[in-house]
Amino acid sequence: MTFGILGSGSWGTAIAKILTDNGNFIYWWNRSKEDIEYIKSRHHNPRYLPTAHFDITKLRLTTNPAEVIENSDCIVMVVPSAYAVPALNGLDRTVFSGKKIVSAIKGVLPDNNLLLNEYLKNEFNVELKNYFAVLGPCHAEEVASEKLSYLTFTGIDEKTTHEIATCFKTPYLNTVENNDIYGVQFAAVLKNIYAVGAGIAHGLDYGDNFLSVFIANCADEMAGFLKKAGIKNIEVGHTDVRQPSEEHRPHNYAAFVYLGDLLVTCYSLHSRNRAFGNMIGKGYSVKAAQLEMSMVAEGYYAGKCMHIINQKVMADMPIADTIYRILWENLPAAEGFNTIEQALI
């Protein structure tokens, strides 16, 4: 299976490292000719994860996304959600025919409030059976330093999901598989919103005691949205009965991709959403915080997208709603968290 990667940020660079470390040849799209020449000569990305070095014989670098798609069996989409639609603009409607698509985008596309699979179906007629998603809990920085990490792969075609996941499995990266396309994608979007909130709380000088209660309630609020949206299999602490032939306890992927990804994004110093929220809590404006960061905080766009989506789902989401108001309606952060405090009583 030949992989193509659309996106060259930190997560795209980490995915390129994982795949090439596993012996896979990849086509890799980068907007910058200068960055491509740098990678060819210095064997690492000049902008992201400089400790991740590449075997150049396993890379075909190009500024043309159509070239990546044409020459790949499986295309990994890993551009920030806000730039996904522009990255695909101008491509022929049939360009993804016969291809497998893996979304590494942890966000809703803000132009139309759609998950990537919904957009690809509308614009490129990509069937859900050919769509897969890869989620955490996993930070690109720890992949670069080869610290043991976990990725969750989801797809309704279980055989192909397993085949794709196998291509990512390395001594420093384990994989978990499931078929919960919508649940894991919405969970990935929501955890970014809550991580912004965790950062705001830290910037406002709340302590660990409050933060633990805050995150626990975020997990409960997330589960409430998923249930209202018709998602099942969201219970941490519940696993299927072990069969006599099974050596290990069966995986409950909810512990990985729902709770695990939420925890690492809220607590880790690598979390750009937490860092963005921390600046908001310290008094930065949204614009100033965005200018300060060199990477996109998905939770900012996700806050508005999920606010709109939840107008149909009608889940009770006081935490996410308050974070939306702080980010998009100029609600002072301290006032917003006073509201959250009352919601947690």
* 161 shares a domain with 193: no
* 237 shares a domain with 190: yes
Examine the pLDDT at 217 and tell me if it is beyond 70.
yes
* 142 shares a domain with 28: yes
- Residue 170 sits in a domain of what CATH number? 3.40.50.720
Examine the pLDDT at 155 and tell me if it is beyond 70.
yes
The total domain count for the chain is: 2
* 187 shares a domain with 174: no
Share of the chain above pLDDT 90, in %: 82
pLDDT of residue 192: 96
* 220 shares a domain with 162: no
pLDDT of residue 59: 96
Domain span at residue 288? Answer: 183-343
Q: Which of 132, 158, 179 is the last residue of a domain?
A: 179
* 217 shares a domain with 141: no
Structure confidence by residue, pLDDT tens digits, 170-210: 999 999 898 989 998 999 999 999 999 999 999 999 999 99
* 139 shares a domain with 77: yes
- 117 contacts 126 by C-beta, under 8 angstroms: yes
What is the chain's mean pLDDT, rounded? 91
* 128 shares a domain with 22: yes
Provide φ and ψ at 3, rounded to 5°: -105, 145
* 169 shares a domain with 44: yes
pLDDT of residue 254: 65
Bridge partners (DSSP) listed for residue 74: 3, 100
Please state, in angstroms and rounded to a whole number, the distance separating the CA atoms of residues 105 and 59: 22
pLDDT of residue 253: 55
Contacts of 251 by beta carbon, 8 Å cutoff, 6+ apart: 176, 239
- Residue 300 sits in a domain of what CATH number? 1.10.1040.10
Structure confidence by residue, pLDDT tens digits, 36-72: 999 999 999 999 999 999 999 999 999 999 999 999 9
Q: Where are the alpha helices (DSSP H) in the chain?
A: 10-21, 33-42, 65-70, 81-88, 116-124, 140-144, 158-168, 181-203, 208-228, 253, 261-267, 272-281, 286-292, 298-313, 318-328, 333-343
Host H or E run for residue 297: none
pLDDT of residue 251: 53
Please state, in angstroms and rounded to a whole number, the distance separating the CA atoms of residues 317 and 224: 8
CA-based nearest residue to 325, from 343, 150, 313, 312: 343
Q: Is-above-0.85 flag for pTM?
A: yes
* 200 shares a domain with 272: yes
* 193 shares a domain with 123: no
Bridge partners (DSSP) listed for residue 27: 4, 60
- 245 contacts 259 by C-beta, under 8 angstroms: no
Q: Which of 179, 205, 221 is the last residue of a domain?
A: 179
pLDDT of residue 238: 52
Confidence category of residue 136, pLDDT binned at 50, 70, 90: confident
Structure confidence by residue, pLDDT tens digits, 235-256: 555 555 444 445 544 455 566 7
Q: Which of 179, 212, 228 is the last residue of a domain?
A: 179
* Omega of the bond leading into 137 within 30 degrees of 0 (cis): yes
* 339 shares a domain with 190: yes
Examine the pLDDT at 296 and tell me if it is beyond 90.
no
CA-based nearest residue to 134, from 74, 89, 177, 97: 177
Structure confidence by residue, pLDDT tens digits, 65-116: 999 999 999 999 999 999 999 999 999 999 999 999 999 998 899 988 999 9
pLDDT of residue 345: 74
